[in-house]
Amino acid sequence: MVIPFDNTTALAALASVIPLIIIYLLRPKPVKLSIPSLMFLMQVEKQKKRFSSIRKLLKDPLFLIQLLVLILLSTAAAAPFYTSQEDLSDEHTVIVIDASASMQAGNRFDDATRLAGGYLSKKNSVILAKSSPEIVVENTGSSQASDALDSIEPTATVADLSGAMSEGMRLLSQRGGTMVVISDFASWEGEDPVSTKQLAQSYGIDTAFVDVSSAVGNVGIIDGWIDTEDGNYVYTCVVKNYNDFTERVDIEIANPAGSVKRSLNVGPSDTAQFRVNPLSSGITSVTIADEDTLPADNNAYVVIPTQSDTKTLFVSDEEKLPSKIALSTLASVDISTAEGIPSSTDDYRIMVIGLKNRSLTSSEVERLDGFLNNGGRVVVVASQMLTGGNATEQFQSMLPVIPGNVAEPQDILGIDLEVVQSSSLTDDVKFNEIAMYRYLNATPRNDATVLVATEQGDPLLAHWSVGDGTLVYFGFNDDLGDPNDELDNPWNNFHNLPEYPVLWAKLTAWLGGSGDISDYNLETGDITSLAREMTVQTPTGTITTQKVLFEQVGTYKIGGRTVAVNLYSDRESDTTRQGSEVMERVSDQNRDSPDIVRQDSYEAKNYLDNYLIMLAILLAILEILIIRNRGEL
């Protein structure tokens, strides 16, 4: 049988035996001398041969040992191996734990983690089934896996059990193993987990379902929505009673204006609605006063951005600008114009800086800073007046971007734009139809939110917080240029597109607090991607991330913006649902005994290098013993 090697080039090291042989051949053979007691050297009776022969070398044990050591080490470096058919290993166990909201009911999650500890094996992986699967530990020992089980917590999302099982199948795809899914099997999103179990077993992965459900009563908030009536926001809340008896539900509603209490009589398996009218600006919380088995649906939160009139000051040294025209056509905007920032800005909610021929003076920058720190909203339209040679350092430091020089793409059609982060401001705006002939090379600052950028990453629409206010960088210069000067052309064609006034309408509505309210009120399981890593205050602590997964009910603070997150799931709140239906289908599936489409064994490589190295070490020890026995050590 020919032994294959993974690294055949290492066999060249076998040439090292040649110097060894030469050294032993050239080594002089010891000569026997007769020495009288008077220590005078007598003539050597017979001249011996000076060099050793090959025959003598083969009788020298040290030579043979050193030769074998070189051969063994050179062969080990070539990584010899033999192949064999091995059974799929069951030493790797993947444990999938349902971390959805319904697992908070009673002791379900505690039971799940306790039962999971009984399935630990030599190698373990733990996966949390949430709206997006999370691998907690992978290929780790039982001790580390046990510590991981003690540290995990349930979320307030709907779990994608099938997605988590698919992750487990991926981890076991090479050598197989066992997958254990522990859940109440009350609800899920995505594929049916029973079908995914059948698929896993057809690939030779032994899959077991463990049901931890138990029927318990619950009263929870299962839905809520915001409407507008007579210019005010109105919140409608839906409460459901999952008990088999009528429940008196005490509700506490709190907002910055104060708190009120209400009581509802909700029949068995029935719902009741109530309204909060009008909603105050800020955070409104709705709480079911009596604690029950599922805390995730006992609270709901609503965020209404601070509202005020949208009286706007447009500061510019040009008479006709598309941005000014767009703003003047909006019925919701009361626009005033000025060539500079006045000494008093108390009457204005929004300020637009559209200077084209000069930058702000130091005194104007001071007034602008005061306006922002007092909660003002500012939009700065890009122009060459923002570059380092024109704008003051103080003004530049207030911007959410670091402006550079004016860039002119070589392509006559302009440069492509991309939406970095989707929001109500970017929806329904075809940025791919905007041709950018010139723009400012810019770098976003830390904590700035970039919505639109060039394909090279230069921000064109970005915002961040300054004091209690918000400053927006509008990178689309609206200077129309000089029609009599062929070199002085517009920077872009955005002002010719119908989306241009739409974006200004969205921007002023958002800055004035009357933007799309859905951006401030989300449901668990939603995901928001940020332009870069930012510090986010969650209901359970502070994290630094570039992708926010809303997993808990409560309020999140992201870059100065507060977002309310609620569960709103009838199936997750229904703690009377059990996993019996799923387990019955699993039993039927097991009786059907689906065909195994994957082999029960795999071809394994069994490497011999470690054994060769161990043998070489033993020979080296034997060599030391021989030398010591000769008295040469």
371: left (phi over 0), alpha (psi -120 to 50) or beta: alpha
Would you give the distance in Å from CA 275 to the centre of its chain?
37
Q: Predicted confidence band at 599 (pLDDT cuts at 50, 70, 90)?
A: very low
Is 477 inside a domain boundary?
A: yes
- Rounded (10°) CA dihedral 507, 512, 514, 519: 60
Identify the residue with better confidence: 182 or 390.
182
Residues 392, 508, single domain; the answer is yes
Hey, which of 192-196, 527-531, 629-633 has the most confident mean pLDDT? Answer: 192-196
Is 554 inside a domain boundary?
A: no
Contact assessment for residue 206 and residue 168, using Cβ atoms and an 8 Å cutoff: no
Is 539 inside a domain boundary?
A: no
- The pLDDT, as a whole number, for residue 596 is 39
Residues 205, 252, single domain; the answer is no
Contact assessment for residue 20 and residue 68, using Cβ atoms and an 8 Å cutoff: no
Tell me the C-alpha distance between 608 and 318, whole Å: 82
Which structure tokens are listed for 284? 């409104």
Contacts 24+ apart (CB under 8 A), 223-229: 223/568, 223/570, 224/286, 224/300, 224/302, 224/566, 224/568, 226/279, 226/302, 226/517, 226/521, 229/277, 229/278
Tell me the C-alpha distance between 519 and 423, whole Å: 7
Residues 341, 250, single domain; the answer is no
Tell me the C-alpha distance between 233 and 278, whole Å: 6
Which structure tokens are listed for 186? 């009350």
Residues 287, 359, single domain; the answer is no
Phi, then psi, of 348 in degrees rounded to 5? -110, 145
In angstroms and rounded to an integer, the radius of gyration of the C-alpha atoms of the chain is: 38
Residues near 544 by Cβ (< 8 Å), separated by ≥ 6? 533, 534, 535, 536
Last residue in a domain, options 304, 336, 361 = 304
Average pLDDT over residues 380-406: 92
Cα torsion angle, 489, 493, 497, 500, sign: negative
- Name the packing angle between helices 580-592 and 193-202 (round to 10°): 30
CATH of residue 591's domain is: 3.40.50.410
Is 550 inside a domain boundary?
A: no
Residues 106, 173, single domain; the answer is yes
Average pLDDT over residues 31-55: 51
Is 564 inside a domain boundary?
A: no
- Name the packing angle between helices 61-77 and 609-629 (round to 10°): 160
Tell me the C-alpha distance between 380 and 353, whole Å: 5
Query: Of the candidates 421, 355, 424, which has an alpha carbon nearest to the alpha carbon of residue 390?
Result: 355
- The pLDDT, as a whole number, for residue 592 is 60
Would you give the DSSP letter of residue 458?
-
The pTM of the full predicted model, rounded to 2 decimals, is: 0.59
Contact assessment for residue 200 and residue 171, using Cβ atoms and an 8 Å cutoff: no
Domain count, the chain: 4
Tell me the C-alpha distance between 473 and 477, whole Å: 11
Coil/strand/helix, residue 422: coil
Tell me the C-alpha distance between 273 and 238, whole Å: 5
- The pLDDT, as a whole number, for residue 95 is 96
Looking at residue 32, its amino acid is: K
Contact assessment for residue 140 and residue 125, using Cβ atoms and an 8 Å cutoff: yes
Phi, then psi, of 79 in degrees rounded to 5? 55, 65
Average pLDDT over residues 384-398: 90
For residue 112, pLDDT beyond 50: yes
- The pLDDT, as a whole number, for residue 332 is 73
Helical H segments across 313-465, by residue range: 322-328, 362-373, 393-398
Would you give the DSSP letter of residue 144?
H
Q: Predicted confidence band at 45 (pLDDT cuts at 50, 70, 90)?
A: very low
Helical H segments across 356-454, by residue range: 362-373, 393-398
Q: Predicted confidence band at 41 (pLDDT cuts at 50, 70, 90)?
A: very low
Please report, in angstroms and rounded to a whole number, the separation of the first and last CA atoms in the chain. Answer: 42
Residues 398, 464, single domain; the answer is yes
Is 538 inside a domain boundary?
A: no
Residues 274, 298, single domain; the answer is yes
Last residue in a domain, options 264, 289, 304 = 304
Residues near 331 by Cβ (< 8 Å), separated by ≥ 6? none
- The pLDDT, as a whole number, for residue 104 is 94
Phi, then psi, of 519 in degrees rounded to 5? -70, -20
Is 452 inside a domain boundary?
A: yes
Q: Predicted confidence band at 1 (pLDDT cuts at 50, 70, 90)?
A: low
**Overall size of the chain counted in residues:** 633
CATH of residue 256's domain is: 2.60.40.10
Cis peptide before 278 (omega within 30 of 0): yes
Residues 352, 287, single domain; the answer is no
Of all residues in the chain, the percent with pLDDT exceeding 70 is 87
Last residue in a domain, options 304, 329, 349 = 304
- The pLDDT, as a whole number, for residue 52 is 52
Coil/strand/helix, residue 381: strand
Residues 350, 452, single domain; the answer is yes
Is 536 inside a domain boundary?
A: no
263: left (phi over 0), alpha (psi -120 to 50) or beta: beta
Tell me the C-alpha distance between 405 and 381, whole Å: 15
- The pLDDT, as a whole number, for residue 219 is 96
Which structure tokens are listed for 321? 């600008």
Average pLDDT, the chain: 86
Query: Of the candidates 229, 139, 228, which has an alpha carbon nearest to the alpha carbon of residue 175?
Result: 139
Cα atoms in the 13 Å half-sphere on the side-chain side of 206 = 11
| Structural domain that includes position 68 | 8-84+607-630
Average pLDDT over residues 56-64: 70
Which structure tokens are listed for 442? 């810019």
- The pLDDT, as a whole number, for residue 604 is 57
Residues 177, 248, single domain; the answer is no
Phi, then psi, of 199 in degrees rounded to 5? -65, -45
Cα atoms in the 13 Å half-sphere on the side-chain side of 208 = 10
Residues 79, 95, single domain; the answer is no
Contact assessment for residue 197 and residue 268, using Cβ atoms and an 8 Å cutoff: no
Contact assessment for residue 182 and residue 154, using Cβ atoms and an 8 Å cutoff: no
Average pLDDT over residues 540-569: 91
For residue 595, pLDDT beyond 50: no
Contact assessment for residue 355 and residue 380, using Cβ atoms and an 8 Å cutoff: no
pLDDT per position as a tens digit, 304-313 = 876 555 789 9
Identify the residue with better confidence: 112 or 633.
112
Residues 365, 320, single domain; the answer is yes
Average pLDDT over residues 8-30: 74
For residue 344, pLDDT beyond 70: yes
- The pLDDT, as a whole number, for residue 53 is 58
For residue 89, pLDDT beyond 80: no
CA angle 525, 531, 534 (to 5 degrees): 75
Identify the residue with better confidence: 32 or 557.
557
Phi, then psi, of 40 in degrees rounded to 5? -90, 135
Q: Which residue has the tokens 């399981």?
A: 525
Tell me the C-alpha distance between 530 and 304, whole Å: 22
